[in-house]
Amino acid sequence: MAAPFFMQGSGMRDRFSTLLLLIVAASFSPLIHAEPPLPRGIVANDTYDFRSVRQGAPVSHAFIIKNAGEGPLRITGAELWMPGLTVRVAPVEVPAQGEGVVTVELNTERVAGAIEGKVQIQWNDPTRSGASLTLKGYVVPRIAIEPMPAVFLSTFTAEPAERTLTIRNNEPQPLRITSVEHSARLSVSVSELKPGKVFILTARSVNGVPAGRYEESLTLVTDKPGANRIILPVHLWVKPDLYANPENVDFGTLRVEEVQRSDVTASLTQTFFLKRRGDAFRITAIVCDSSAVDVTQSPAGPS
């Protein structure tokens, strides 16, 4: 009778131990944490074309930002890629499944021509760091100078050059050009193609100007209140009968060990042209004051 009692007691102890182990094991089970809700930023239309506006007219557009995620979308910053742009954000934090507005404004007072202004918005979407918004169109200048607001003249000493520009007044009020200021190296005239609206400016280099490059300007004096002077840069190059183009060769900054490598020196080749107005000529000698520079010519004969 003693043996059965002992066996029963042993089984009870085993079951108790198993139960105890299960309880202890359960108490050390790791806790399972749910992932935090994440935002997802979407911009359905990231480009706005304002077509054409007059210089000085305000340009503004509200870009819609949608949050398709389950967590709040926070606008953390903005980079502006051209002057005259400003940005307003409302709200700064877009709720889950909600919408916000990023308003981009362009001050056209100091810009003209084709415009493409970009704004890079940063937010806390882990799958996409931000969005690029574009404002584009054409700003009609108050006074347009075509093909460009500058005069480029390239000529020889005894061969004056001539360039013409069209000046177009895009404002309702007529414009009158009262005088033109320029250097003695130029001869400038202005004719009226359409009274008060369209003018033709003709700039000529004066015969006998010494060879060289001249950076100067000409000024149109008008009757426009508050902005009566239109300044145009003038780039004048008077060439001798025999000239080099370009006039300087620049290899940049090089380390000594680079110059000694053939793969580097092979890429350090620059070409300039020696030209003469009139008859053919021959290069009789090439003199270089640096032993580190190798100069060759083509063709070998007259040209």
What structural domains does the chain harbor? 41-140 (2.60.40.10), 143-239 (2.60.40.10), 241-303 (no CATH)
Query: Rounded distance, CA 207 to CA 54, Å?
Result: 41
pLDDT(162) > 70: yes
Residue linked to tokens 């250097």: 183
pLDDT of residue 267: 66
Percentage of the chain surpassing pLDDT 90?
A: 63
Q: Which pLDDT score, from 0 to 100, does residue 17 have? A: 45
Three-class SS of residue 135?
strand
* Mean confidence (pLDDT) of the chain: 86
Stretch 155-164: mean pLDDT: 90
| Verdict on whether the full-model pTM lies above 0.95 | no
Quote the pLDDT of residue 33. 61
- Given a cut of 60, whether residue 159 has pLDDT beyond it is yes
Dihedral angle over CA of 153, 155, 159, 162, nearest 10: -20
Report how far apart, in Å, the C-alpha atoms of 83 and of each of 107, 109, 125, 130, 137 are.
Answer: 8, 11, 28, 21, 15
Name the band, by pLDDT with cuts 50, 70 and 90, for residue 220: very high
* pLDDT band at residue 2 under the 50/70/90 scheme: very low
